[in-house]
Structure 1
Amino acid sequence: MRTTILAPYRRFLSPYSHQRSQVRLITARTYRRTITSDSKRQNSSLAAEHHNPHHEANKAAILHGRQTNLPSFRSHPCPINQYHKLVEAGTLRADPHQTRIIEKLQRLHDDLLTYEPPKIPTAPPSSNSLIARLFSGSSPEPEIISPDKVPKGLYLYGDVGTGKTMLMDLFYNSLPAHISRKRRVHFHAFMIDVHKRIHAAKLKLGHRGGDPIEPVARDLANQAYVLCFDEFQVTDIADAMILRQLFEKLMNYGVVCVITSNRHPDELYRNGIQRSSFIPCIELLKERFEVTDLDSGTDYRRIPRTLSHVYYDPLTPENKAEIDKIFRAFTSDPHDPVVNNRKLMIWGRELKVPESTSNVARFSFHDLCGNPLSAADYIEITKTFKTIFVTDVPKMGLGEKDLARRFITFIDACYDMRTKLFVSSEVPIYKIFADNPNAKNTDVSDHMRSVMDDLGLSGDVVGSSSMFTGEEEIFAFARCCSRLVEMGSKQWAETAGM
C-alpha cells in the first residue's frame, strides 16, 4: 500500500538515511521563519512525529492532504507542513531549493485563505431579439477585479525531474476545504478542453458572431478560481493566439494560477509563427506572476535506477512470445475477460481498441500511430487503461515523421497518467527515431546535444536523428527519450498503473 500511494514521488526518495538530521535542521529553521509564534509547538511536533510508530502508514495521507494521526503544525494541512512531514519521514531528500519554492507556495496558500473572488454572472440570454437584449438586466456585466486585490500567482520553471510537479501537488492537495472551486490539470489537456469550449461557443453565437473566448473564460472562472497547470508550453499557433486573451480575462475574473514549465516566459514559443502576437501574453505572465526557477542542486533524474524488463527488441519470435505471455498474465482474471475491438467514444468519434480488459489494452504500433489520432485520443486511452502493451514499433526515419510525432504524443500521455508500458520494437526503444542507432555523442548536433544534456541523456543512449529540426521538435523528441528511460526503470514498473 505504501509503495502504491507514494508512486508519483518515488524518484525523490532518499537512499541516504544519514541526511535526515540535516533535513530536520533545514526544515526547522525554515518553519521558524514562517511562523515564529508556533515555533515551540512545531519543534515538539517534529519530535513526536519522528518517534511515532504509525508514521509510515500516514505518508499517503500526507501526500494527499488528508487527515493523519500525526500532530499537526497548524489546524489544517498546508504546503510547508506537508513538505516538512515528508522530509522528516525520509520520503523527500534535503533540498534547500525546494524549500525556497515551498515557502513561496506557502505564501500563496496563506493569501488564498482570506481571498474572496468576485462573483461572476452566468451566461447572458442567447436571444437575438432587441427586447430580450434591452431587458436582460438579470445578467449584469461581469465584475472585473483590480490586480492588486488578487493574490499573485506563481510561475515555476526548471529542468525536468527537479520536483516542480511534486511541489505544486503538495500546494494543491493542501488547499482548505472551503476552496472547492479549484482545478489541477496538465496544460496540454487544458488546451484541448479550451478548444472544445471555444468551438461550442462559436456554434452558440451563430451568425451574430462575437467573442467566443469571453464565455469560455467566464465558465472556467465560475468552475475554478484556483488553477494549477502542469507543464506549460506553447508549440501551436492556435494556442498562442488564444492564450493572451484567455489569461487576461481569467485574471480579470480573479482567477489565481500556479504554473510549472520547463521554460522561462521569455523562452516560450521561441521561433514560433507570428510570435510577436504572443509577446503580450509573455508580458502578462511576468507582470501577474512571481516567476521563479527551481535550480535544484540535485538532478533527481540522474539518481541511478535499475532498469526493469518492459521493453523487448528486436522483433523476434522469442520476444513476441514473451510479450504474449506477459499480456496473458495481466489479463487472466476470468471476471474481466479480453474484449476485441472495444469501443471508446471520444468527442463523438468511435475509437476501437484491438484487445483490452477494463484496465489493460494492447495495440500494434500501426493501430496506435498509423491512424490520424490526436492528443485527446491518447489522453482518453491512458485515462481508461492503466497498463498498455504496444507491439511492433519500427525504427522511424524522415518518411515516418507523422508516426513519430504521434508516438511522442502517446508517450507524453502515458507519462502524465503514470501508465505501465510494455513495448516490443525493431531496435532499442530509445533509438527508434535514430538515423544511426549506433551514433556516439560526437555525432549529435550541437543543439541536440545541449537539449539532451539538459535532460540527462547522451548520444550513446538515443543515437543520432536528423528527423527533428525545429527547437520545439528537438525538445519534444529528447524529452520523449528521457521519459522512456524513466518508464523503463524498476521503480516505474513496480509503481505505475496503480
Structure 2
Amino acid sequence: MDGPITPAEAQRLPTTAEGPLPAYRARVAAGVLRADSAQELAAETLQDLWRRLRGYEPRQEEPDKPGGGFMSRFFRRKPVDEAPGNAPQGLYMVGEVGRGKSMLMDLFFDCADVPRKRRIHFHQFMQECHARIHAWRKQNGHDADPIPPLADSIADDAALLCFDEFQVHDITDAMILGRLFEALFAKGVVMVATSNTAPADLFKGKPGRDAFLPFIHLIQQKVAVLYLQSAQDYRRDRIHGLPTWHVPADGRAERALDNAFYELTGQRHGQPKTLAVLGRQIEVPQAVGGVARADFDALCGKPLGPADYLAFSTHYHTLVLDGVPRLGPDNFDRARRFITLVDTLYEHRCKLVASAAAVPDQLYEQGENAAMFQRTASRLMEMQSQDYLGLPHLT
C-alpha cells in the first residue's frame, strides 16, 4: 500500500467486468497498490481462470420449497447432477504471509462471473461441515453416512468455492476432507485457495498422515499450484507503522485501536467467530481474516488454558486487545492467564496491539508473583520492537 488510501478504500474502487488482471492494474495505476511482478503474474493466472469460468454452471438448480433454508435442503439430501467432466481446473496460491494472496483472491472473487459462488475462511468452512455432520447424524443416526448429503448441500450452494488460509491441523478434518472433496469435484465444484503451505506439505509430520495422502493427490490433480514469491511483506509494512501499546486505556486509546483494526483489515468491525478446541468452543468477539479483536476479559477473564491460547495463536497472526488492567495478587487468576496468553503469542510470533492501564513493566509491580511477571513485561516490550514486528507468524 502506498499513500493515504486504506485497504477498505482499495476495495471500494470499482471492479471491472474484464476480470481480475485489469482490476489489479487499475489499483496499481491509482496508487492503491505497488507494482509487484509476482502479484501481476498471479493476477494473469487468475485472469485465465476467470475466462474459463465465465457463466460456469455445472448443473441446473432446482427451486427450493417455500420456507426452506440450507438446513432443510441439507436434510432433504437433494441429489445434485454430476458434472459433465469438463470443470475448469482450480488454483491454489501458496506464499508467505503478507504477500497479497487474499487481496488477489478477493479481486478474482469479486469479478468472477459465476452464478453460485462463495468465499470463506477455510477454518470456518470446516466448522460448518462439522456442525452439518452433527445435525445429520442427530437426525439419521450415527451409522448414517453424512458425506454424500454434505457434498450435495455444499455443491447446491456454490459451484465456485474460494478458501482463504487453507490449512489442515486437525485429524478429524483430515479424515473428512478426502471423501468430501472427491464428491465436490465430481459435482463440478471449482476450488480457489490461498495458503502458507504447499499441498504436498499439508498435515506433514502429523499422526495419521498416510491416510491423508489421497486427498493431497486429489488436490494436485484438481487445482494448479501457484507460488506467489513476492519479496515484499505488505502486511508487515502496515503494522510497522502502527503504535502497538496505548496507555492509558481510555477513549483515545480505544480510537487508536479502532484505527489499527481498520488499517490491518480494511473493515471497521469484524464478525464474531468461534474456534473449536478439544470439543469446546472459544468465542472470538471480532475477527477479519487473520486479525482478531477482543477485550481483556474475553480472553483472560474466562477459564481458558494453554490449548485454547495455542489454537488462538496459530489461527490469528495479530491480536488487537482492549483494556489490559493493572494486575496483582487480587486478580492473579486473570494475571496468570494473561501470562500464558502472552507466552503463546510470543512463541508463535503473533503481533499484539493493545490498550492498557500502564506500560508493561508497571502492570504488575507489587505483591506475590510480581517477579514472575517480569519476563512477561520483557516480552511485551520486545513485541513492540520493529525486529519482532518483522518476524513471520508461526502456525
TM-score range (shorter-chain normalised) is: 0.5 to 0.7
Q: Deviations over 1:368-394 (max 9, x none)?
A: 9xxx9625x22x6548xx964326988
Partner residue of 2:174 out of 240, 244, 259: 240
Tell me whether 1:282 sits opposite 2:188 in the alignment: no
Tell me whether 1:7 sits opposite 2:25 in the alignment: no
How much has 1:264 moved relative to structure 2? 0.7
Instruction: Report the Cα distance in structure 1 between the residues aligned to 2:100 and 2:164, rounded to whole angstroms.
Output: 12
How much has 1:210 moved relative to structure 2? 2.7
Tell me whether 1:401 sits opposite 2:306 in the alignment: yes
The structure with the larger Rg is: 1
Quote the residue 1:216 is aligned against. Answer: 150
Q: Deviations over 1:364-423 (max 9, x none)?
A: xxxx9xxx9625x22x6548xx964326988xxxx95235325426745xx5xxx85435
State, as a whole percentage, how many aligned pairs show the same letter.
33
Distance 1:162 1:405, change over 3 A: same
Instruction: Report the Cα distance in structure 1 between the residues aligned to 2:38 and 2:210, rounded to whole angstroms.
Output: 34
8 Å CA contact 1:311–1:429 kept in 2: the answer is no
Greater shift in the superposed pair: 422-431 or 267-276: 422-431
Q: Deviations over 1:254-303 (max 9, x none)?
A: 11110101011110001112111110000000001101110113233454
Distance 1:266 1:484, change over 3 A: farther
Instruction: Report the Cα distance in structure 2 between the residues aligned to 1:327 and 1:300, rounded to whole angstroms.
Output: 25
8 Å CA contact 2:286–2:293 kept in 1: the answer is no
Instruction: Report the Cα distance in structure 1 between the residues aligned to 2:241 and 2:43, rounded to whole angstroms.
Output: 31
Quote the residue 2:54 is aligned against. Answer: 113
The one-letter amino acid paired with 1:298 is: Q
Tell me whether 1:155 sits opposite 2:92 in the alignment: yes
Quote the residue 1:28 is aligned against. Answer: none
8 Å CA contact 2:92–2:195 kept in 1: the answer is yes
RMSD over aligned CA atoms reads: 4.6
Quote the residue 1:170 is aligned against. Answer: 107
Quote the residue 1:336 is aligned against. Answer: none
Tell me whether 1:94 sits opposite 2:35 in the alignment: yes
Quote the residue 1:463 is aligned against. Answer: none
8 Å CA contact 1:389–1:423 kept in 2: the answer is yes
2:96 aligns to what SS in structure 1? Answer: coil
Quote the residue 2:249 is aligned against. Answer: 323
1:234 aligns to what SS in structure 2? Answer: coil
Quote the residue 2:363 is aligned against. Answer: none
Q: Deviations over 1:129-167 (max 9, x none)?
A: xxxxxxxxx9996432254x0010001111111111010
Quote the residue 1:62 is aligned against. Answer: 13
Distance 1:234 1:293, change over 3 A: same
Q: Can you give the 5+ residue segments of structure 2 that lack an aligned partner in the other structure? A: 65-75, 257-268, 328-334, 352-381, 390-395
Quote the residue 1:389 is aligned against. Answer: 295
How much has 1:308 moved relative to structure 2? 3.7
How much has 1:203 moved relative to structure 2? 2.0
Quote the residue 1:135 is aligned against. Answer: none
Distance 1:180 1:114, change over 3 A: closer
Quote the residue 1:422 is aligned against. Answer: 322
Distance 1:304 1:167, change over 3 A: closer
Instruction: Report the Cα distance in structure 2 between the residues aligned to 1:151 and 1:484, rounded to whole angstroms.
Output: 46
Higher relative CO (Cα under 8 Å, sequence separation at least 6) belongs to: 2
Instruction: Report the Cα distance in structure 2 between the residues aligned to 1:483 and 1:257, rounded to whole angstroms.
Output: 37
Tell me whether 1:374 sits opposite 2:325 in the alignment: no
Distance 1:139 1:265, change over 3 A: closer
1:433 aligns to what SS in structure 2? Answer: helix
Distance 1:175 1:5, change over 3 A: farther
Instruction: Report the Cα distance in structure 1 between the residues aligned to 2:270 and 2:236, rounded to whole angstroms.
Output: 30
8 Å CA contact 1:108–1:151 kept in 2: the answer is yes
Distance 1:143 1:410, change over 3 A: closer
8 Å CA contact 1:393–1:423 kept in 2: the answer is no
Quote the residue 2:376 is aligned against. Answer: none
Partner residue of 1:184 out of 119, 127, 131: 119
Distance 1:237 1:61, change over 3 A: same
Distance 1:328 1:114, change over 3 A: closer
2:161 aligns to what SS in structure 1? Answer: strand
Quote the residue 2:365 is aligned against. Answer: none
How much has 1:326 moved relative to structure 2? 4.5
Q: Deviations over 1:222-258 (max 9, x none)?
A: 1111110000000000000001111111111111110
